[in-house]
Amino acid sequence: MKRIFKKIIICTLLFGLALYCFIPGKDYNSRYKLNIVSSYGDDEAYHPKILSFDEKWNGYKYWMSYTPYPSGDAAKENPHIVVSNDLVTWSKVFDVDRPLNSPESDIPSLRYNSDSHIVYNNTLDRLEIYWRYVDDINKDMYLYRMYTEDGINWSEKEVSAYSPVRRNVDYVSPAIIYENGTYKMWYVDQNLTIKYTTSPDGINWENPLLIDFKFVDDVHAWHLDVINSDLGYEMIIVGFDEVENRNNMNLYYSKSEDGISWTKADIILSPTSNTGYWDNRGIYRSSFVKINGVYLLYYGGTSEDLHHGIGLVYGKNIYKLKPTNTNFNNKDERDILAKRIRKLINENN
């Protein structure tokens, strides 16, 4: 009888193991992109930056800046804002439907906005948005800033930083935080180097420090985001091997205690190559928040036919983020995912 019982147990275990091996793993990251429609009517949001508030700020706990990039149309790469109270459903701010700035240019391929990024200044209780304006005719570049105290009415733009010769100095994908009365900015400069600088007001910046940054792969630094957390500072960054492959990138992660010395960046997300999903060509600039030890990562994705969007993955382990199978155009499915995320966050309270 004991032998029969042992055989039954062994067969059951073997059957379970075989079944586990037979079941295919999920071949998607975020199976569908977020339902974010720009003021131009497209759903190709790109280059996100997410902020999380403990309590609602002007009606919303989560704020996102992004730039539409439909089929790579630089004329529409202008800063937009959307908001959420559940991290899943994103909407316009009080139905305000317009870009925050549009350059006056009849040559958008040579004069265009890009790389928006939002910052919360808790001293002044205001939200600030930064973005690059590139002028490839005059060969210069402006980093502009606007701010708001209510999320609706914005200041006039002002110059945060300026490069008279972009081939010498650039501010690609500025990742800015405001911490203890100081603005801190990491960005990618010429020669694909990462620089770090600080400012008391977001306008007068100290001489930048060159960061000695390494990847586990032989790739170059490109667009990045940085947050301050319980670990000090955490960064996600995309990297490419050759310039022509900047649409075919992986997403990497690094951390630092002081914002200057960083661990070697390792892969945390890759495109869904050889599939029919919307992000099957590459990952681009992504953003993340960390709430009670849970990461919510909003990543820019590109398809083989060069359409774009923002996807969502999440989890407690940055190296084992959970894929999402949610159709973000379906409210019931969005509500189910929002409930699941809220439960995970509350488990860590």
User: Hey, what amino acid is at 91?
Assistant: S
Evaluate whether 125 touches 113 at the Cβ level (below 8 Å): no
Give 165's pLDDT tier (boundaries 50, 70, 90).
very high
pTM of the complete model: 0.92
Give 172's pLDDT tier (boundaries 50, 70, 90).
very high
Q: Is the pLDDT of residue 113 over 70?
A: yes
d(CA 238, CA 248): 10
Structure tokens at 56: 């609602």
- Rg of the chain in Å (alpha carbons): 21
- For the stretch 57-61, contacts whose Cβ atoms lie closer than 8 Å and that sit 24 or more positions apart, written own/partner, are 57/120, 57/127, 57/151, 58/150, 58/151, 59/83, 59/94, 59/151, 60/84, 60/85, 60/93, 60/151, 61/85
Structure tokens at 328: 């973000």
Evaluate whether 192 touches 173 at the Cβ level (below 8 Å): no
80-84 and 91-92: which strand pairing? antiparallel
Strands, sheet with 158-163, edge to edge from the N-terminal-most edge strand: 111-121, 126-135, 140-148, 158-163
Q: Which of 49, 202, 58 is nearest to 121 (CA)?
A: 202
Tens digits of residue pLDDT in 305-331: 999 999 999 999 999 999 999 999 999
What pLDDT is stored for residue 257 in this prediction?
Answer: 98
Strands, sheet with 232-240, edge to edge from the N-terminal-most edge strand: 220-229, 232-240, 250-256, 266-269
- The arithmetic mean of pLDDT across residues 148-175, rounded, is 97
Return the beta strands (E) in 28-181 as ranges: 45-57, 60-68, 80-84, 91-92, 111-121, 126-135, 140-148, 158-163, 172-179
Tens digits of residue pLDDT in 253-278: 999 999 999 999 999 999 999 999 99
Tens digits of residue pLDDT in 186-217: 999 999 999 999 999 999 999 999 999 999 99
Q: Is the pLDDT of residue 20 over 50?
A: no
Q: What is the mean pLDDT of the chain?
A: 93
Q: Is the pLDDT of residue 114 over 90?
A: yes
What pLDDT is stored for residue 348 in this prediction?
Answer: 73
User: Hey, what amino acid is at 88?
Assistant: V
CA 322, 89, 45, 113 dihedral sign is negative
Q: Is the pLDDT of residue 94 over 90?
A: no
- What the chain holds in terms of domains, given with CATH numbers, is 30-347 (2.115.10.20)
What pLDDT is stored for residue 19 in this prediction?
Answer: 36
| DSSP assignment letter at 94 | G
Q: Which of 29, 20, 116 is nearest to 68 (CA)?
A: 116
| DSSP assignment letter at 25 | P
What pLDDT is stored for residue 111 in this prediction?
Answer: 96
- The arithmetic mean of pLDDT across residues 42-50, rounded, is 98
d(CA 194, CA 174): 10
24 Cβ neighbours under 8 A, 6+ residues apart: none
What pLDDT is stored for residue 3 in this prediction?
Answer: 54
d(CA 208, CA 58): 34
d(CA 108, CA 116): 17
d(CA 279, CA 307): 9
281 Cβ neighbours under 8 A, 6+ residues apart: 247, 248, 271, 273, 302, 303, 304, 306
